[in-house]
A and B are shown apart, each in its own frame.
Chain A
Amino acid sequence: DSGVTQTPKHLITATGQRVTLRCSPRSGDLSVYWYQQSLDQGLQFLIQYYNGEERAKGNILERFSAQQFPDLHSELNLSSLELGDSALYFCASSVQGSSNSPLHFGNGTRLTVT
Chain B
Amino acid sequence: DQQVKQNSPSLSVQEGRISILNCDYTNSMFDYFLWYKKYPAEGPTFLISISSIKDKNEDGRFTVFLNKSAKHLSLHIVPSQPGDSAVYFCAAKLTMNYGGSQGNLIFGKGTKLSVKP
Q: Given known contacts A55-B102, A56-B102, is B109 in contact with A103 (CB within 8 Å)? A: no
Query: A95 an interface residue at 8 Å Cβ cutoff?
Result: no
The interface stretch among A42-50, A68-76, A77-85 is: A42-50
Q: A38-68 CB contact bits vs B (8 Å, 1 = yes)?
A: 0011111100100000011010000000000
Cα separation A36 to B104 with both chains bound (whole Å): 14
Cα separation A48 to B89 with both chains bound (whole Å): 20
Interface size on B, residues (CB 8 A): 27
Does B95 contact A103, Cβ atoms closer than 8 Å? no
Query: A28 an interface residue at 8 Å Cβ cutoff?
Result: no
Taking A45-B106, A102-B34 as known contacts, 19 extra A-B pairs with beta carbons closer than 8 A to each other, sorted by chain A number, are A40-B109, A42-B6, A42-B89, A42-B109, A43-B107, A45-B104, A45-B107, A55-B102, A90-B43, A98-B95, A98-B103, A99-B95, A100-B93, A102-B46, A103-B46, A104-B46, A105-B43, A107-B41, A107-B43
Interfacial residues, chain B to chain A (CB-CB below 8 A)? 4, 6, 32, 34, 36, 41-46, 49, 51, 89, 93, 95, 97, 101-110
Q: Is the interface of B mostly helix, strand, loop or mixed?
A: loop
Q: Given known contacts A42-B109, A42-B110, A43-B89, is B51 in contact with A100 (CB within 8 Å)? A: yes
Give the residues in chain A near B110, CB-CB below 8 Å.
42
Q: Given known contacts A42-B4, A42-B109, A58-B104, is B49 in contact with A102 (CB within 8 Å)? A: yes
List 18 A–B pairs whose Cβ atoms lie within 8 Å, in order of A's numbering: A2-B43, A35-B107, A42-B6, A42-B107, A42-B108, A45-B105, A45-B107, A48-B104, A56-B102, A90-B43, A90-B44, A92-B43, A98-B102, A100-B49, A102-B49, A104-B45, A105-B44, A106-B43
Query: A21 an interface residue at 8 Å Cβ cutoff?
Result: no
Q: State how many angstroms separate the Cβ of A35 from the closest Cβ of chain B.
A: 8
Query: A30 an interface residue at 8 Å Cβ cutoff?
Result: no
Q: State how many angstroms separate the Cβ of A37 from the closest Cβ of chain B.
A: 9
